[in-house]
Structures are given as structure tokens and as C-alpha cells.
Amino acid sequence: MIADQEPVEIAIADQTDLPGIVDILNDVAASSIATFDTRPTSVAERHAWFGQFSPTGPYRLLVARRHGRTVGYAASQPYRNHEAFRETVEFSVSLDAGCRSRGVGTSLYRALFESLAGEPIHAVVVGIAMPNDASVALHRKFGFTEVGTFREYATKNGRYISSLWMQRLF
């Protein structure tokens, strides 16, 4: 973390974090291609998504808080809804604009990996909408390697988007 930045608290997400998570998601959706969401979401729309996470097991949602305000999250969630993928999780991370490039993503991922130790996970995958050098660097720092690119398979704001897929064996 940069010395002039106040530290963040990393914790298991609870319902009080959901409005802050939604604010982050809506800002990212409006200002970048890092998510394929094209319209704002609401807390009510995100309740089912939030319900998939637990303090134990392979599907976790951690948050970073600064002064009680949710400023980022990291999640491990099902990759696909097939029994064959039961030991594969997909990671995601998103941060408040003011917390990017400040070590918050690193802190969240470190805590997420630590919290998942001992869980029945064999592979972790992540899809990164490109370009996103910061996200690629974060994932490389945690041992992810590139496995392929889906080229121009999505559109947002009249622009084709490609995604780099990375994985790490757990």
C-alpha cells in the first residue's frame, strides 16, 4: 500500500456492504469496459448474487473498507453450473476509483486466497476485458498464467471487447 494511503480493513462481506458494492459496480459499468454490464444495477437486483456467498466453502465475498465505507471487493464464485466444474472457481475483483493502484486489490486477493486454503478447489480462472494492464499485472502477481483470448466476443458502447483468460491451479 502506498505510504500516504490509510490502510483498509479486509472482511467477509455482509448485507451492509451491498450498497457500496453496487456503487462500485455501477461506476465501473458506466466508466469502463472492465465489466460487460451496460446499465446500472440496484441493491435489490444484486441480492441473489450476494446470496451465493458464504463465510465458509469455496464461494466467498470479501470487502475492503476504509472508515466503514466499502471501497472494493473480491469474490470466488462458481465458474459454471455443472458438476464437472465443482473444483473450479472464478475470481473477480473491483475497486472504488480512488483505491486503484494503491495495493487494495493485492490485499483483497491475498486475503481471498488465504480464506480459501483447505477448500476443495483445484483451479481458479479469471476473464479480463482488455485492455486492462493493471488487472493482468495483479493476476500475474498471484501466479495466474494466460490461457487464451476470446477476441471481439462482446460489444459495449459500440466497441468490440476481447477478454484475456487466465488461470492458476490451486
- What is the model's pLDDT at position 5? 63
Q: How many Cβ atoms from other residues are within 10 Å of residue 49's Cβ?
A: 15
Long-range contacts from 45-48, C-beta under 8 angstroms, 24+ separation = 46/18, 46/21, 46/22, 47/18
What CA–CA distance (Å, rounded) separates 33 from 128? 10
Residues 6 or more apart in contact with residue 129 via CB below 8 angstroms? 33, 34, 35, 36, 154, 161, 162, 163
- What is the model's pLDDT at position 159? 93
- What is the model's pLDDT at position 98? 86
Weakly modelled stretches of the chain, pLDDT under 50? 1-4
- What is the model's pLDDT at position 101? 84
The strand ranges marked E within 56-111 are 61-66, 69-78, 88-95
What CA–CA distance (Å, rounded) separates 126 from 137? 13
Domains of the chain: 9-122 (3.40.630.30)
What CA–CA distance (Å, rounded) separates 124 from 82? 15
Collapsing DSSP to helix, strand or coil, 170 comes out as: coil
- What is the model's pLDDT at position 7? 85
